[in-house]
Each structure stands twice: as structure tokens, then as C-alpha cells.
Structure 1
Amino acid sequence: MPRFNPDFWEIPVPPEFFDQFTTEDYFWYRAPDDEYMERHRAKRQAVLEQVRQIIAKELTKRQTECVHLYFYKGKTQEEIGDILGISRRVVSQHLFGVTRDGKQVGGAINKIRKVCRKLGIEFP
């Protein structure tokens, strides 16, 4: 009879478990070469520049301030409210809009997404 060795125990795992991992998680994944990564980085920078232009041109002054403080400076909605002298709820509305009759209305993020779709901007 074989001797018990806990290092070689096999635990049954359903195949669906492995579907949650990306290909980068597998041992046979080969990292992209530097040229590919540089092209990807350049494309990403171009998209980010387009988004910055959308923020500057399409958003209201208050939305721009909220987006800058939230996404670029890493401030919380509460901190932004204190800085701008408005409530956290109003900051949230400036950033993400409100739901009315089951539809998302207003908000800087919604406006940015809408303009990106209109211009055909795809995020890498």
C-alpha cells in the first residue's frame, strides 16, 4: 500500500474554475515583446489625450473640477465636497449623474462615454 504524502494530494476542481483566469495567469503565457508594448502604450496615451480634450471641452466647469480631483488627485467624494463647498451627494451627481425613471441622467462620466462613442474612441 502506498505511503500517505500530503504534498501530492490532488483536489478535484471543476473545469469552470479555470475559466475565471486570463491567459496571462497560465504558465504557458508568453509576455508580449517590447515593440508590442510600446505600440499599446502609445495608443493608450493617444486615447488618454483625447479624453483629456473631451474633459476640457465638453464638461461644465464644476464637472471638470470634480473629475480632476476624483480621478487625477485621488480625492474622495467627501473631500471634494469639502474643497468645493458642496455636499458629497452633489459631487456624486456631478461625476456619475442620477437615476430618473430608471435611466441614468447627467454626470461627467456619462458625458465622456457618450462623446467617446460618438467619436469612435476605443479604450485599449
Structure 2
Amino acid sequence: MDIRVTLDGRPVDATLNDSPAARDLASLLPLTLSLEDFHGTERIGYPPRRLNTSDAPEPTAAKAGDLAYYAPWGNLAIFYRDGPSADADLLILGHVDADADQLAAADRITIEAAS
């Protein structure tokens, strides 16, 4: 599913996969989140409620540009560096096509359904 993502007012291309958690995120759109840095690897923000994580796919390690959901904390994450090894609680929801510097510096993200 193509989505529209804006990082600090700059639009970038992005897609969501077809997982239940990604479809649940899509049901919350449009969504604007404030982001904070986490461990020099990702920017995180909190959606208004937890996402459905049933039937989650096998865990994979996050790569730069991945949009993910960390189920234990209920936060979304945009990775600007490759993440650590695969974590069963980290669900990859899609990918944001932006360079690492733009992802690392983002303070605000807006996610909308593509028209």
C-alpha cells in the first residue's frame, strides 16, 4: 500500500506491507507524530493506540528506512541506521524512501493514505 509521508514538511515516498499491524496503522491515518531519537539508530513516536499484532510475520532485522512497530512499548519507529538482530517484538510495517540524514533529523512525521 502506497502512503504519503512528510518528514518536517518534506514529502517522501513510502509503502506499507500487507501485515495486520500495517493495515491497522492504515486505519489510523492521517496521523501526525512527534519523533524522538532512540539509541542513535531510529526515530520513535507513539500512535494514539496500540496496533493489532496478531498473525505477525517472522521477525527480521530492521534496515535503514524501515517503518516498524515495537509491540512491547506500542511505538512506531523509523530506522535511519540498520537495527540490531531480528527481534520478535519488532514488526516491520513498511519502508520510507528517504536518505539517512533526513530520517535522523526528523522531528515530526505525518503519514497519510495515498490518494
Give yes or no for TM over 0.5: no
TM-score, reference length from structure 2 = 0.29
TM-score, reference length from structure 1 = 0.27
Return the structure number with greater relative CO, CA threshold 8 A, min gap 6. Answer: 2
Higher helix share: 1
